[in-house]
Amino acid sequence: MKKIKNRDFNFIVGLILAMIVIIPALIGTVWTPYDTEAMNSSLKLAGSSLSHPFGCDNFGRDILSRIMSGSSTTLLIGIGTVFIGAVAGTLIGALTGYYGGLVDDIFMRFNDVMFSFPSLLLALVFVAVMGSGRIQLLLALGLAFIPSYVRIVRAEYVRARNLDYVKSAKLAGASDMRVMFVHILPNILKVLMNSILIGFNNAVLAEAGLSFLGIGVQPPAASLGRMLADSQTYLFNRPGIAIAPGLTLIIMVLGISLVGKSKTITEI
Amino acid sequence: MTGIVKKIFSSILTILVVACLVFLAFAVIPGDPAVAKLGTQATPDKLAALRHQMGLDIPVMKRFLVWIAGVIKGDFGTSYSYSMPVTKLIADKLPVTVILTVYSFVIMTALSIFTAILAARRENSVMDRVIQIVTQMIMSIPPFFGGIVITLVFGLTLKLFMPGGYVSYGNNLPRFLGYMFWPALAIALPKSAMAFSLLYTGLVTERKKDYARTAFSRGNSTKDVFYKHLLRNACIPVVTFFGMALADMIAGSIVIEQVFGIPGLGRILLTSIQNRDYPVVEAIIVCIAILVTVSNLLVDILYRVIDPRTAISE
Amino acid sequence: MKNSKRLFVSALVLLMTAALCGCAGGKAGEGDAITIGIPQDIEDSLDPHTAVAAGTREVLFNVFEGLIKPDSNGDLKPAIASEYVIDDEGKTYTFTLRDGVTFHNGAPVTAEDVIASIKRCADTSNGDPLVAAFSNIASIDKKDDKTVVITLANPDTDFLCNMTTAIIPADNIDNAGTNPIGTGPYMYVSRSPQENIVLKRYDGYWGDKAFIENVTFKIIANPDTIVMNLEGGSIDMFPRVTTAQAEQLSDNFEIKEGTMNLVQALYLNNAVKPFDDVRVRQALCYAIDPKEIMDYAFDGRGSEIGSSMFPTFGKYFMPELNDTYNQDIEKAKALLAEAGYPDGFEFTIKVPSNYTQHVDTAQILKEEFKKIGVTADIELIEWSSWLSDVYSGRDYEGTVIGVDASTLSPRALLGRFVSDAGNNFVNFKSAEYDAAYETAVTSTDDAVQTENYKKCETILATEAANVYIQDPAELVAINKKFTGYEFYPMYAQDISKIKLAK
């Protein structure tokens, strides 16, 4: 990603949208306008005002603050999930794809089984096994996302191992590890980068979905999915409570998927 | 044809592996169905008696063999919570999930093909641009938020349906189908936006090809060329996506059930996990695995039908 | 392929039409039917003897009856028995069966059915009997076709409240879990897991027949959709809405306010540090203000309590205990310093995630404890984990929960704090308490009993066994089309009293 490609509309708009959410979220990890858990009975369900631009929830907690901290939680879980998925997926995919053989067959059978399951459902089963909470959720989603990376990376390695540049590197005496991670890996980064961005979006949506079901991030900690779930009670009289976290989620996902589609990323 | 036979065989194997994994996973996780059922009335003696009644005092391996033998015969045991055969319970709820998924799939297909052709026919027109931007946004709407917005707009404001007014398919089929349209729409919207962009790319590429020009030059109307000639070829790369979308829709229905108050497999799955009602949890997961593999298989066959080259190349 | 476009368009049109006619159809047989929302399905059992959950009891209340039955004032009224005689000592209980009582299958209730039902609940072949108090039964005999005599091993004037145990047909005991047959005003029709439970009026009922013919209990698993369901008309009534939900409802609904009959408290594990020190427990009591909790989470509703007793037990409730600890931050800090925690400490409150009211309360407690330097971490756990870890395993520091009374006897609330009680999940230990409780239970003199039960309550308050909060308000939202709802001092939704408003 040397420089932004000429007039890459998708990249610029995507980046701006993503930053609209990511910058406040990053700030949210260290500072929020109000304590995200502090309650104030006089501000129960208060509408938007100068001091509380998005209003307050049913405990009188500032919604803007909660969105900031909620989206940072979502963001961290997204990054963590992609990290676990991509690192483990790349390792497994590289080893099995490069060496092939019986181990590869067994792994692939197993991977196909996992892959035949929607990742949201897989994560749900993992959470059932491990219990709910931030760390468990991160692990569950990370595990659930490994198979998709394994699949992509393995395919690339299978293709690469017969290519000329790999053969010549081997002839030159490079070790397998070196061939795998120094020679081949940089060449599949483009494919990997794209699936990381898609995976990030899927992880964000899965986190929100699980929290929405009440088995993800636990109160009083804020989470976009949880806020959406709670907002349903007030849909009649204060639909705004649902709109704010919902839009935040959409803007973040939209921004990142635009970046992922942009020429700058796809034509590295 | 051997390709398909091989696929069917490996699908059966996959389902069996899922069944084994799921049983073993739930045999080791913490939580005791007897404790969940007895609640605050539990005493050590009562727990022991109930565990015996549930067959939980039998060694895991033996339990596993009995269970897997039952599964092969289609018998998943008896639910701890509902004291009824799991097979009957699932048979009752499975249609809800299947109909919701099929419904979403139909909406997705119809919507994406219609809009893709509409946009691709007038490439770079204002209409095209508007559709492009709108689909890009719709793609990013998580189904459960879509569900909330649909409830708010079509249910509460326009009063086109009664939120929470789910009726079982056994009681009143038309009302059931009417209600299910909305959750299906919530699931289908983001997926149809994705299908749209794939189809659109396909159509735009196809129209530049020679055969398309020939078709145009023969004086066929644009509409005819698109629906008769281009669509079929543009569909080929999208079929794989449709297959994956189908699997996602099954998972998506679990979340959307919660928004629309639909007592389908998802609701049963969530409560059964809470109650440690393992026979039900295991059966539902195996069921979903079957649904997913069968739909993958169908997509595979469809692929061969649309694009005969795949069959030959194998 | 020309038709493909037409196909897609017509498919869409068809689906839209289906969606629109879906909402046109009205409810079948409106007027003689009511749909009641309940938060969870019956997941323990339809069998009244093995059912344990409060949510199950309140539904089955309509289907089953015992020899006697509580009315809405909490008084025990003869039901299947038309009268009963208790000897002065409280040892022999003689019940005369009412004429003309039939089961839902039409069969008359016989002495054999009564004996079989009670024997089943007293059976000890699996260890503990289904009804704990029945271990005191020495014998149960049929005197004649209409008379059953129960003789106790030890005198117990409080035994009668256990006779609300459901009577079921002797020949249906093996199928009780799948085909429930009782004698109540409503009979069981069908169920669909996680969807509904359907009851129908029993026209052969011996007493005042119910008004509404068809009753559907609809399971609303997602509490966030309760308001939508009520306003949309898919349910007519929901017991226990939150104040926030009540505020959202339109004029079409009446909000009835009663009490939940729960002892809601921050229950502390008295056996673990730092809660083994009475001063620490008292400090927490001084730190909180039940009024503040009620204001935040319950819109000011609810009744303050100061011990393990709620106001409905008028005879035993001691309002003066509410003032044992009034919020006093300085005093709380001083007590903590005295106990060796001048800078406070950190502990975990485990709360079952399915109870919004307790989760909300825990969130407010957390804020209140901050003021005395105590950090409370909230850990939400599943109900099944709460049962196994907290309630049975006693592996916790603090938990917010509401404890209800399973029978209409003070023992149901106070018995669990006896040092060696199996359900003493807070590990409370006090010789003085044990002695007072023992005196109350063994005495046959009402005045002595009352005095000692009150002594027990006072000990719980002064020893700060738990941080007592409130008996939460129960808000029932009911469509104004219906009238006649009555509260019970126990878990019961008596549908037979509800009728159409004129």
Question: For C420-465, what is each residue's pLDDT tens digit?
Answer: 888 899 999 999 999 999 999 888 888 898 999 999 999 999 999 9
pLDDT value, residue C7: 59
pLDDT, one tens digit per residue, over C124-182 is 887 788 888 898 999 999 999 999 999 999 888 888 888 999 999 999 998 888 899 99
Does C283 share its domain with C414? yes
Nearest residue of B to residue A224, measured between CA atoms = B145
Does B75 share its domain with B98? no
Domain total for chain B?
Answer: 2
Q: Which of chain B's residues have a Cβ under 8 Å away from the Cβ of A239?
A: 152
pLDDT value, residue C183: 95
- Residue B13: inside a domain, yes or no? yes
Mean pLDDT, chain B, integer:
82
pLDDT value, residue C468: 95
One DSSP character per residue, C209-253 reads PPS-SEEEEEE---GGGHHHHHHHTS-SEEEEE-HHHHHH--TTE
- Residue C1: inside a domain, yes or no? no
State which H helix or E strand residue A239 sits in. Answer: none
Nearby residues of C314 by Cβ (< 8 Å), 6 or more positions away: none
The domain that contains C145 carries what CATH number? 3.90.76.10
Nearest CA distance, B13 vs chain A (angstrom):
9
Q: Which of chain C's residues have a Cβ under 8 Å away from the Cβ of B228?
A: 1-2
Does C467 share its domain with C481? no
Does C225 share its domain with C250? yes
Q: Which of chain C's residues have a Cβ under 8 Å away from the Cβ of A38?
A: 367
- Residue C8: inside a domain, yes or no? no
Nearest to C296 among A39, A219, A233 (CB): A39
- Residue B314: inside a domain, yes or no? no
Does C390 share its domain with C440? yes
Does B148 share its domain with B204? yes
- Residue B113: inside a domain, yes or no? yes
Q: Which of chain A's residues have a Cβ under 8 Å away from the Cβ of B296?
A: 116
pLDDT at A80 over 70: yes
Low-confidence ranges of chain C (pLDDT < 50): 1-2, 22-30
pLDDT value, residue A47: 75
Does C320 share its domain with C430? yes
Domain boundary among B86, B109, B128: B86
User: Is there a cis peptide before residue C274, judged by omega within 30 degrees of 0?
Assistant: yes
pLDDT value, residue B310: 53
Does B66 share its domain with B38? yes
CB of B298 within 8 Å of a chain A CB? The answer is no
**In A59-98, beta strands by DSSP E:** none
- A106 burial type by CB count under 10 A (0-12 exposed, 13-18 middle, 19+ buried): exposed
| Dihedral angle sign, alpha carbons of residues A59, A62, A63, A65 | negative
Low-confidence ranges of chain B (pLDDT < 50): 311-314
- Residue C304: inside a domain, yes or no? yes
Domain boundary among B26, B57, B86: B86
In the structure encoding, which two tokens stand for residue A211, read together? 């929290």
Nearest to C224 among A132, A220, A233 (CB): A233
Does C231 share its domain with C326? no
CATH H-level superfamily of A19-28+60-266: MetI-like (1.10.3720.10)
For chain A, which chains pass the contact test of at least 3 CB pairs under 8 Å?
B, C
The β-bridge partners of C148 are C95, C142
**Residue C107 CA: distances (Å) to CA of C90, C116, C171, C500, C501:** 33, 15, 11, 31, 34
Does C375 share its domain with C268? yes
CB of B107 within 8 Å of a chain C CB? The answer is yes
Nearby residues of C334 by Cβ (< 8 Å), 6 or more positions away: none
Q: How far is A258 from C402, CA to CA, in rounded Å? A: 50
Is the whole model's pTM more than 0.90, yes or no? no
Does B164 share its domain with B183? yes
- Residue B238: inside a domain, yes or no? yes
Does C250 share its domain with C356? no
CB B161, CB B178: distance < 8 Å: yes
Does C23 share its domain with C148? no
Residues 408-437 of C with CB under 8 A from B: 422-423
The domain that contains B234 carries what CATH number? 1.10.3720.10
Domain residue limits at B212: 92-309
Nearest CA distance, B156 vs chain C (angstrom):
8
CB of A171 within 8 Å of a chain B CB? The answer is no
Domain total for chain C?
Answer: 3
Does C381 share its domain with C496? no
CB of B60 within 8 Å of a chain A CB? The answer is no
Does C327 share its domain with C378? yes
Domain residue limits at C240: 15-42+55-61+187-259+476-500
pLDDT value, residue C124: 85
